[in-house]
Structure 1
Amino acid sequence: MKSPVYNVQAVPVSKVRANAYNPNSVAPPEMKLLETSIWEDGYTMPVVCYYLPDEDVYEIVDGFHRYTVLLTSKRIREREGGMLPVVVIDKDISARMASTIRHNRARGTHSIELMTNIVAELVQAGMGDAWIMKHIGMDSDELLRLKQISGLAALFKDREFSKALGV
């Protein structure tokens, strides 16, 4: 059996629907970052679906949030022509539920050490705080913490600090 990714289809978003069993949720800042990612890079991963021929509908197994971005972002929907990249798997409902959970749990987490190194490299490449926060989805507190962890004085060169009162 060949992997489904070798058969990506452009499907009208009106023919795609969410499943009723996905326990995953994404916080608003990460949804905004996902929208930015899709705007900047395009859809780089198709949505995994199961095709229901009786209804002529594609039900999502993985990729609900990528689908949601197409529904909620006018600029992306227009650029994509209302089409969503989809791959189809042919499994029964139990196997689809298990697949949804595997996809959700296999995403992993970011290493603080590696994120600190990335921030340091971006700063050294001349990227400002605003650029870093926008393009990698950080708020100012998180960025400051990663700069503090790195201990590199160069990371703070453009930062203003106030003097403590009474000193």
Structure 2
Amino acid sequence: MNIDIPCLHTLLVDRDMIQANDYNPNSVPRDKMELLKQSIIDNGFCFPLVVIWSDEDEKYIIIDGFHRFTICQPEWLDIRRIPVVVLKHDMAQRMAATVQFNKARGVHAVDKDADVVKALLEQGQTELEIAQSLGLDIDTVLRYKQMTGILDLFKNVKYSASWSIESNADE
């Protein structure tokens, strides 16, 4: 299989030009943050943040690396220039990438998956596209649709009749 992977270049960006996204369903306990801090001290910044450029915000928006970004703040390590890789993703691709990165690391808050599914549906993604990009089965996507507002998410679905009324000739 020959897959075309975009060439990624690492840049050093001032931390004031970077901001978090508002959809990441991942959280890390304080002890793991301390371990991340120590890892950066001991090993350097081995994994750049993955970001997109937002013309609207005039900043880089984090797709992956929020906790590494947090460690760069003054209350932790006070690192001013942060390595980033810039992707050219639309909102649906960004959200899917965030979930992919979280799941690939084995840390992901499943209870917020439903909100991500809802947001991707609102971005115009199909259930099948969402299932594929988030590594979910279609039944799970449908279950998440139900959890996040069944009426709005199912309003454009065509249904078949589950039963029909037949007349009884004996009456």
TM-score normalised to structure 2 length: 0.56
> 1:48 aligned to 29, 32, 50, which one?
50
Quick check: which one's helix share is greater?
1
Amino acid at match of 2:91: I
Structure 2 residue aligned with 1:20: 22
1:102 pairs with 2:104: no
CA shift for structure 1 position 55: 3.0
Paired-residue identity, %: 37
- How far the C-alpha of 1:56 sits from its partner, in A, is 2.2
Once the two structures are TM-superposed, the CA of residue 96 in structure 1 deviates from its matched residue by: 0.3
- Output the CA distance in 1 between the equivalents of 2:54 and 2:47: 21
Out of 83, 86, 111, the position equivalent to 1:85 is 83
User: Structure 2: which 5+ residue stretches go unaligned?
Assistant: 108-171
- Tell me which residue corresponds to 2:146: none
Match of residue 39, structure 1, among 38, 41, 44: 41
TM-score of the superposed pair, with normalisation by structure 1: 0.58
Structure 1 moving runs of 4+ over 6 Å: none
The one-letter amino acid of 2:29's match is: A
SS in 2 for 1:71: coil
Alpha-carbon distance between aligned partners in 2 of 1:35 and 1:67, rounded to the nearest angstrom: 11
Are the structure 2 counterparts of residues 73 and 44 from structure 1 closer, same or farther at C-alpha, using a change threshold of 3 Å? farther
Report the count of equivalent residues.
104
Mapped contact 1:35–1:73 kept (Cα < 8 A): no
- Tell me the alpha carbon deviations over residues 1-58 of structure 1, each in whole angstroms, 9 at most, x when there is no partner: 5545x41000000000000000100001100000000111110000000101343200
Structure 1: where are the runs of 5+ without partners? 110-167
